């Protein structure tokens, strides 16, 4: 007899893990057979509390969940996942029926998520799981240092928003003096600065009302935040204020005392580079039409060049209407 109430594992070398949270034992049985035969390691939970415990001890690569669960329903479970640093980026498949609460689902603002309406075939579930898993791996592969999605994913998401006529803000950030810092301290120390920037952006987003803001890493010291209009200006100013108060700790005491780096360039001339500063620019389709990602990138590049020409950290907002 197939035991759905227990943790079920199919031991396959290098298999990815999927956690199924579904009280329907027959549906679970069919899903486990299909997924395990395709190389997935399958774990099963009957309710939300059990699912959170199992995910916390051994995070899955994909979560398959029925929102109508006992003890802790699927919406609450996903909300708890979002608050957990190790679980918040797990892609989710919602198994829904006529009782599906679309309003509660939308309020979760999940990242990678798919909806599968009952009844469905095990093959359709497998296709959804494989698709989300692939997308998740590609996102992580885009930047191994930060594991943030890159330019390709932002381009796709932005173009979808443009096609749907949805408003958005784009906040671009760029470090001034990072190249010189890398030369002086080495790439390992430079990577610590990059990881600090990630933490800074994500923590300031979480403290603000812009909870749906997503951070993208283009490589090097170039980042972008996509969020709904209305929050970007205050968020950007807080990011700059915190950055300016903290960045000096990445320098040696002697460099902090002199206010920056003294280096000899290739021509043998001595150059002085101030402690790194941050340039942030905001563009939005709220006040001007933006037709595609390439246009947005061109506007941002022009504004960053201008903003970086000014001394110190600066935030610049695109106020043009065309």
Question: Given pLDDT bands bounded at 50, 70 and 90, which one contains residue 142?
Answer: low
Say whether 224 sits in a helix, a strand or coil.
strand
What is the per-residue DSSP string for 257-289? HHTEEEEE-TTS-EEEEESPEEEEEEEESSSS-
Is the pLDDT reported for residue 261 higher than 90?
yes
Q: Which two tokens stand for residue 303?
A: 């504004």
What the chain holds in terms of domains, given with CATH numbers, is 17-142 (3.40.50.2300), 151-317 (3.30.70.270)
Q: What is the rounded average pLDDT for all residues in the chain?
A: 88
Among 42-51, 56-65, 69-78, the minimum mean pLDDT is found in 69-78
Render pLDDT for 69-86 as a digit per residue (tens, 0 to 9).
Answer: 888 888 888 888 888 878
Distance CA 244, CA 314 (A): 10
Render pLDDT for 178-220 as a digit per residue (tens, 0 to 9).
Answer: 999 999 999 999 999 999 999 999 999 999 887 789 999 998 9
Q: Exposure pattern of 30-69 as b/e (b: 16+ CB <10 Å)?
A: ebbebbbeeebbbbbbbbbbbbbebbeeebbbbbbbbbbb
What is the per-residue DSSP string for 46-59? SSHHHHHHHHHHS-
Average pLDDT over residues 291-319: 95
Listed in sequence order, the residues at least 6 apart from 87 whose beta carbon sits closer than 8 Å to its beta carbon are: 55, 56, 59, 80, 81
Decide: pTM greater than 0.75.
Answer: no
Is the pLDDT reported for residue 3 higher than 80?
no
Distance CA 280, CA 172 (A): 6
Among 9-18, 42-51, 170-179, 257-266, the minimum mean pLDDT is found in 9-18
User: DSSP state, 251?
Assistant: S
Render pLDDT for 100-122 as a digit per residue (tens, 0 to 9).
Answer: 777 777 776 676 788 888 888 99
Question: Given pLDDT bands bounded at 50, 70 and 90, which one contains residue 140?
Answer: low
Q: Which two tokens stand for residue 263?
A: 């280096």
pLDDT of residue 141: 58
In the chain, the percentage of residues whose pLDDT exceeds 70 is 93
Distance CA 66, CA 73 (A): 8
For helices 187-207 and 232-246, give the axis angle rounded to 10 degrees: 140
Distance CA 247, CA 277 (A): 8
H helices within the chain, ranges in order? 25-37, 48-57, 74-83, 102-108, 122-142, 151-164, 178-185, 187-207, 232-246, 253-258, 293-308
Listed in sequence order, the residues at least 6 apart from 320 whose beta carbon sits closer than 8 Å to its beta carbon are: 287, 288
Looking at per-residue pLDDT, the higher value among 111 and 128 belongs to 128
């Amino acid at each position: 007899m197939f035991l759905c109430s227990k943790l079920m594992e199919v031991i396959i070398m290098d298999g990815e893990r999927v956690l199924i949270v579904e009280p329907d034992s027959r549906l679970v049985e069919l899903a486990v057979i299909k997924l395990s035969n395709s190389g997935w390691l399958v774990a099963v939970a009957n309710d939300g509390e059990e699912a959170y415990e199992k995910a916390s001890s051994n995070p899955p690569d994909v979560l398959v969940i029925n929102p109508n669960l006992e003890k802790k329903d699927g919406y609450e479970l996903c909300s708890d996942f979002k608050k957990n640093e190790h679980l918040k980026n797990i892609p989710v498949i919602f198994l829904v029926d006529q009782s599906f609460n679309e309003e509660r689902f939308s309020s979760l603002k999940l990242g990678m998520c798919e909806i599968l309406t009952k009844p469905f075939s095990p093959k359709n579930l497998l296709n959804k799981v494989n698709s989300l898993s692939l997308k998740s791996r590609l996102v992580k592969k885009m930047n191994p240092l930060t594991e943030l999605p890159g330019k390709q994913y932002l381009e796709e998401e932005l173009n979808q928003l443009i096609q749907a006529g949805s408003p958005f803000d784009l906040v671009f950030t760029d470090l001034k003096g990072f190249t010189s810092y890398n030369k002086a301290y080495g790439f390992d120390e430079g990577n610590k600065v990059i990881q600090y920037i990630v933490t800074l952006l994500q923590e300031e987003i979480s403290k603000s009302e812009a909870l749906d803001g997503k951070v993208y890493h283009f490589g090097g010291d170039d980042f972008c935040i996509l969020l709904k209009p209305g929050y970007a200006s205050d968020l950007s100013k807080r990011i700059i204020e915190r950055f300016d108060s903290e960045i000096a700790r990445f320098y040696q005491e002697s460099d902090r005392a002199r206010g920056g780096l003294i280096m000899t360039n290739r021509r043998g001339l001595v150059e002085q580079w101030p402690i790194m500063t941050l340039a942030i620019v905001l563009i939005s389709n709220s006040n001007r039409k933006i037709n595609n990602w390439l246009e947005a990138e061109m506007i941002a590049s022009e504004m960053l060049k201008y903003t970086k020409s000014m001394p110190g950290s600066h935030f610049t907002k695109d106020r043009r209407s065309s």
